[in-house]
Amino acid sequence: MSLFASIIGFIIVKFFFQSLFYAKQWKRLLLLVLATSLATAPLLAMLYRETAVDFFYVYIGMIVLDILLLNFLVEYKWWKAIVSSFLANTFLMIFFFIGNG
């Protein structure tokens, strides 16, 4: 999967699932989704292609990072952050593995 396609895919998947929880703050959420997608999509591609990193830990790391960022940059509500991060990152991983084989 090309870098461009993976970043666009990350933005769509993340924004779709997290906007279900943060519909009112969609502008701030979009900015956060853009930044996190830009940061994680190329990094995941490199980690997947070139290292033996266990992707379960990468998945957990992404969820934790997302929870913290959503809490402190969008809305301070732990349950919303936990549920939306888990949901978005699970589908993100499915999308990533389908795209990269």
Partner 1 sequence: MKGFKIIIIVILLSFGYNAFADAGFSIRRRTAPAKMTFEGIQNLSGYTLLVVEYSFEKSDSLLKNPFISHKETVTDLYKIYVQNGGKRWDESERYIHFALAKTDSTETVTDTFTVYMEKWNYVMQVSGVKDGKLLYTLKKSKAYYPFSIFSDDEAGENTIVLNRWIYIICSLVGFSLLIWLFLKRNKSA
Q: How far is the CB of 25 from partner 1 (least distance, A)?
A: 12
Nearer to partner 1, 30 or 82 (CB): 30
12 binds partner 1 (CB under 8 A): no
Q: How far is the CB of 88 from partner 1 (least distance, A)?
A: 16
Instruction: Give just the sign of the alpha carbon dihedral 99, 41, 16, 90.
Output: positive
Spatial neighbors of 65 by CB under 8 A, at least 6 apart, are 36
Q: Which of 65, 5, 38 is nearest to 30 (CA)?
A: 38
Number of residues assigned to the chain: 101
Contacting partner 1 within 16-75 (CB under 8 A): 31-32, 34-43, 45-47, 49-53, 61, 65, 68-69, 72-73
1 binds partner 1 (CB under 8 A): no
Site of interaction with partner 1 (CB under 8 A): 2-3, 7, 31-32, 34-43, 45-47, 49-53, 61, 65, 68-69, 72-73
